[in-house]
Amino acid sequence: MLKAFTLVGLGGAVGSIGRYLAAQYIQSRFVSSDFPYGTLLVNITGCFLIGIIFGLTAKADILSEWKLFLVTGICGGYTTFSAFSYESITLLRNGNIMHFGIYIAASVILGLLATLIPVWLLQKI
């Protein structure tokens, strides 16, 4: 268990630092900072990265330790959007169409509401 925590923690540190650097670099390249270009790029590249890992693990025997480090650690630290994407595709590939739809709708709608409601409530105080 300690080995798993260490791998996830080290990967998470790499991913989080990568997210910060990538988002800051991209955002600084655009004149208008009203649109979150950096976050968008991080989410898309994180999905691309987890897609590569997903594709490779389907074709080769990759140790579970490497999956923990790469998927949960680096990709999870870089962007949780990639985990959302990976889990959605897994549901779809397993034929769980209803769960796929519910997961996507619930994640987007409830995630937005979970952010909006406290912001709205705290503005009222």
Q: How far apart are CA 39 and CA 28, in angstroms?
A: 12
Instruction: Parse the chain into domains and list their residue ranges.
Output: 2-79
**Tens-place pLDDT, residues 67-84:** 889 989 999 999 878 888
Asked if the model's pLDDT at residue 93 lies above 90, the reply is yes
In angstroms, the first-to-last Cα distance of the chain is 44
**Tens-place pLDDT, residues 10-36:** 999 999 999 999 989 998 888 766 778
| Reported confidence tier of residue 53, pLDDT bands at 50, 70, 90 | confident
Written as six digits, the tokens of 54 are 């997903």
Which pTM was predicted? 0.73
Mean pLDDT of 43-62: 82
